[in-house]
Amino acid sequence: MNPNMAYYAIQTKIISKKGRILRGLDWEKLLDCKSVEQLKSLLLENMEFSKLLNEVKNEELSRDKMEVLLGKFKTLETEDLLHYFSGSYKDFIESLLLEGELQDLSLILRKIAREESLEGVEARFIHSGKHETLPFDKLMSSKNVAQFTENLKGTPYYSGLKNLTKDDAINREFHIEMKLYVELYKNLMEGAKKLDKEDTDAALGIIGLKIDLLNVQWIYRALNYYKISPEEILNYSLVGGTSIDYKKLKKLCYSKSLDEFFLLVKSYLKLDIFDDIGVSGIDLSVNAYLYEYLKKKKFHNIGAAVSYIYLIGIIVDDFTTIVEGIQYNVPKEKLKSYLAFKM
């Protein structure tokens, strides 16, 4: 019995949570919603989401406010699991909260680069206040991009952003995001390697798959939209993938066409995730692939917690898609095709 992880307790909790979220929600009714208020009312009936929305049940929510609340859901669910871990296991699960910090870091940087006011920006934060690792007060006091990067000194993200310019921050958002993710996933992999072997293997298997998918997403965008050199694409890619090692990653970056890239990805992942990319887009393709993998995989170790956290991330993305669909009056059947979750 691992003294750092209450496995049976957490397994029972996760099974209950997944049941209430994946099967306890009437997704057809959710897709029928014509307003954010209707969506909020349905989510308030669900035990998991009601914890998130109870404080605002008497408020009229805008699309932006609902999207922020949904973003916080993954943070709250991760925090809820921390009680079942200690030692290096708790440290590892805490490191999964860092993604929320990076999203908020990117939000601040984007506003500073565009010379927009930071007043009230905290209301849009989704990261964990209890487990904060970045100097957000200091970052929000930055007057320009140079000061922002200077205020990152002492954090793992400084070296990757120290030469960042205002133009970079405005025009190379996805490049910057990939730089931040390099540090995030380095941290996750280092934490996973401090666990018992079975747990290390499970955690690295899921994280490695996520890295593969993020790389596929990045390289597709780079080839299709950015038209940058293969060397630069490779420089921004993540290492540590499960199915796509460095040699394969290099081949993807040096693809001479999108068709060649699609064929290589299909041979590496053993599945055509680009089958309907023209309809769904790259974000949904990788989310749907990860969702199907995690839904079928059974874990009897820390993989159960990691899998659940990633599943929640996908569900949050789907709910955000529904909120956007409500905003733009997207027909139900079309909106359904944009979801990773399949009814």
Residue 170 is assigned to a structural domain of this protein: yes
Residue 69 is assigned to a structural domain of this protein: yes
Q: Which residues contact 163 (CB under 8 A, 6 or more apart)?
A: none
Q: Which pLDDT value is given to residue 2?
A: 83
Higher pLDDT among residues 194 and 297, named by residue = 194
What tokens appear for 245 in the block? 């090692």
Q: Which pLDDT value is given to residue 309?
A: 97
Mind giving me the DSSP string for 183-252? HHHHHHHHHHTTS-HHHHHHHHHHHHHHHHHHHHHHHHHIIIII---HHHHHHHS-S--SS--HHHHHHH
Distances from the Cα of 226 to the Cα of 45, 246, 249, angstroms: 44, 22, 18
The string of pLDDT tens digits covering residues 122-156 is: 999 999 999 999 999 999 999 999 999 999 999 99
| DSSP β-bridge partners for residue 5 | 85
The string of pLDDT tens digits covering residues 14-41 is: 999 988 888 888 999 999 999 999 999 9
Residue 186 is assigned to a structural domain of this protein: yes
Q: Which pLDDT value is given to residue 22?
A: 81
Number of domains observed in the structure of the chain: 1
Residue 343 is assigned to a structural domain of this protein: no
Residue 1 is assigned to a structural domain of this protein: no
Q: Which domain holds residue 56?
A: 7-336
Residue 228 is assigned to a structural domain of this protein: yes
Closest alpha carbon to 193 in 326, 59, 88: 88
Residue 237 is assigned to a structural domain of this protein: yes
75, 104 contact by CB (below 8 A): no
Alpha-carbon distance 215 to 205, whole Å?
A: 15
Q: How confident is the model at residue 278 (pLDDT cuts 50, 70, 90)?
A: low
Residue 341 is assigned to a structural domain of this protein: no
Q: How confident is the model at residue 4 (pLDDT cuts 50, 70, 90)?
A: confident
Closest alpha carbon to 304 in 2, 5, 1, 3: 5
The string of pLDDT tens digits covering residues 251-277 is: 999 999 999 999 999 999 987 887 766
